[in-house]
Amino acid sequence: MSHALQFYIDGQWVAPSGNRTLDVIDPSTEEAFATIALGEQADVDKAVAAARAAFPAFAATSRAERLALMRRLAEAYKARYADIADALSREMGAPKELAHRAQAGMGTAHLAKMIETLETFEFEELRGTTLIAKEPIGVVGMITPWNWPLNQIMCKVAPALAAGCTMVLKPSEIAPINAIIFAEVMHEAGVPKGVFNLVNGDGPTVGEAISRHPGVDMVSFTGSTRAGILVAKAAADTVKRVHQELGGKSANIILDDADLQKSVKLGVESVMRNSGQSCNAPTRMFVPAALHDQAVAIAKATAEPLKVGAPSTDGVFLGPVVSEVQYNKIQKLIEAGIKEGADLVTGGSGRPEGLNRGYYVRPTVFANVTDEMAIAREEIFGPVLSILPYGSEEEVIERANDTPYGLASYVQSGSLDRARKVAAKMRSGNVYINYPAWDAGAPFGGYKQSGNGREYAGFGLEEFLEIKGTVGYEAA
């Protein structure tokens, strides 16, 4: 990586102010394959100054000018698509097919949807004699995670560009290479200098500096609830907008009239995809008590054939989890599930057979899980499913909502009307009925400790805009 030891600030690649570096680890081998520079406060100051200087001119651009930039970005992204996908697979362990189809593909999908949104978005509206205008909020600090890296970068950069904002991005230092390539793509697309800036670094240094910076008007953060709380506290002194997409512990309610075979099978695969590293994974599967044993048998038969292995190997469903820290956390929670008395159906602690190196986790299913167990309360962020038996529909709705999180819920039923009624009672930002196709136009975000903002399409664009009311704009 020619720019791995540099930052992209004010339209050019520059040397960092300090000399700290960090090795980027391939989780399939546990060996370093790249080294990046880690930023300091001075680098953030320089990036924010560039973004502030660029803001007046970029905020004043027309819709047509921003659309032209975003369309050039789409072409430049397409030209580097394979490089981005390969980087994602290498640095975060995503299987080759998943990295190319979904991980990199999400960037294309979100950018296309934001271009479509900007084409018709209403930035001004006259209400009586008052003009309601939606204007860019200013300089946006962006802090993105390692689990769906390009997805989250594009979910922030695309609406910021559409709104007319300038930005400073700190990607995850665990999976930063895709973001460096993305900065090269932005440069190739001709983004005006200072509009997009990239500073690599860790949370306590660069993340903290961005969150506290008086020159940053908004922080958009995606990550754990624990880290989100720290970002909000750091941002509080400057009363900047804090937009958060945080953790989850999503319930998957399988009603007694659902197709049990299909509902359990797809539920298991949804949890195991991306090695369980998705904030909205349906990790709590609620099944009618009378069907519990049947559901367990289906889950076991689904999980056990799933192939775990090196991301470059054909047919692999689960690659490694992203890091040693993540691996150790998952192992502790699997062990907690066993100690607390849940039935271990398949999987368990340790690496899968034949894999002695790399952060590989066994696809794990627990049954007869109760609500107070750690595996039912904590976000594991690994390929671990908990099956919980329930009695009545009223009971399962109450239990499904009994969580500090509220990112997503899933409902399976043979009756669409019945599923809709249950969905209406779920306290979560998203509800998915009968495993629908992904929708780039649906709002994405959570209730409670899962965050306080929304992403995707117009819902995401709104987050980067201020509302101004000009009273008396029209003569009475």
Q: Is the pTM of this model over 0.95?
A: yes
Q: How far apart are CA 147 and CA 80, in angstroms?
A: 20
Angle at alpha carbon of residue 350, lines to 345 and 355, rounded to 5°: 110
> Quick one: pLDDT band at residue 369, thresholds 50, 70, 90?
very high
98 touches 441 (CB < 8 A) = no
Work out the pLDDT band at 407, boundaries 50, 70, 90.
Answer: very high
Render pLDDT for 139-172 as a digit per residue (tens, 0 to 9): 999 999 999 999 999 999 999 999 999 999 999 9
CB proximity list for 417: less than 8 A, separation 6 or greater: none
Q: What are the distances in angstroms from CA 460 to CA 55, 145, 255, 355, 471?
A: 20, 17, 32, 41, 27
Tokens (6 digits) for 476: 């009475």
pLDDT at 183 over 60: yes
pLDDT-based confidence at residue 345 (cuts at 50, 70, 90): very high
SS (HEC) of the chain: CCCCCCEEECCEEECCCCCCEEEEEECCCCEEEEEEECCCHHHHHHHHHHHHHHHHHHHCCCHHHHHHHHHHHHHHHHHCHHHHHHHHHHHHCCCHHHHHHHHHHHHHHHHHHHHHHHHHCCCEEEECCEEEEEEECCEEEEECCCCCHHHHHHHHHHHHHHHCCEEEEECCCCCCHHHHHHHHHHHHHCCCCCCEEECCCCHHHHHHHHHHCCCCCEEEEECCHHHHHHHHHHHHCCCCEEEEECCCCCEEEECCCCCHHHHHHHHHHHHHHHHHCCCCCCCEEEEEHHHHHHHHHHHHHHHCCCCECCCCCCCCCECCCCCHHHHHHHHHHHHHHHHCCCEEEECCCCCCCCCCCCCCCCCEEEECCCCCCHHHHCCCCCCEEEEEEECCHHHHHHHHHCCCCCCEEEEECCCHHHHHHHHCCCCCCEEEECCCCCCCCCCECCCHHHECCCECHHHHHHHCEEEEEECCCCCC
Q: What are phi and psi of 39, to 5 degrees?
A: -80, 170
pLDDT tops 60 at residue 331: yes
Could you tell me if 449 and 406 are in contact, meaning their C-beta atoms sit under 8 angstroms apart? yes
The pLDDT score that the predictor gives to residue 476 is 84
The catalytic residue positions are 245, 279
Mean pLDDT over residues 415-438, rounded?
A: 98
Are residues 354 and 374 in contact, defined by beta-carbon separation less than 8 angstroms?
Answer: no
**Superfamily covering domain 7-246+451-470:** Aldehyde Dehydrogenase; Chain A, domain 1 (3.40.605.10)
Q: What pLDDT, in 10s, does the model give residues 239-297?
A: 999 999 999 999 999 999 999 999 999 999 999 999 999 999 999 999 999 999 999 99
Q: Which residues contact 258 (CB under 8 A, 6 or more apart)?
A: 412, 413, 414
Of 115, 12, 120, the closest CA to residue 66 belongs to 115
Q: What is the mean pLDDT of residues 100-127?
A: 98
Mean pLDDT across 97-102: 97
Contact 445, 101 (CB under 8 A): no
Q: What is the pLDDT of residue 166?
A: 99
For the chain, the structural domain boundaries read 7-246+451-470, 251-440
CB atoms near residue 35 (< 10 Å) = 12
For the chain, percent of residues with pLDDT exceeding 90: 99
CATH class of 251-440: alpha beta
pLDDT value at position 203? 97
Q: Is the pLDDT of residue 416 over 90?
A: yes
pLDDT at 217 over 60: yes
357 burial (CB, 10 Å; 0-12 / 13-18 / 19+) is exposed
Q: Which residue is listed with tokens 């690659």?
A: 319
C-alpha to C-alpha distances, 280 to 96, 292, 446, nearest whole angstrom: 22, 23, 10
> Does the pLDDT of residue 1 top 80, yes or no?
no
**CA 173/CA 144 separation, integer angstroms:** 10
Q: How far apart are CA 143 and CA 107, in angstroms?
A: 16
pLDDT at 2 (0 to 100): 83
Q: Average pLDDT in the 448-456 region?
A: 96
Q: What percent of the chain has pLDDT over 70?
A: 100
Give me the chain's average pLDDT, please: 98
* Bridge-based pairing state of the strands 364-367 and 384-390: parallel
C-beta separation of 157 from 455 below 8 A: no
- Starting at the edge strand found earlier in the chain, the sheet holding 130-136 runs 124-127, 130-136, 465-470
pLDDT, mean of residues 444-457: 97
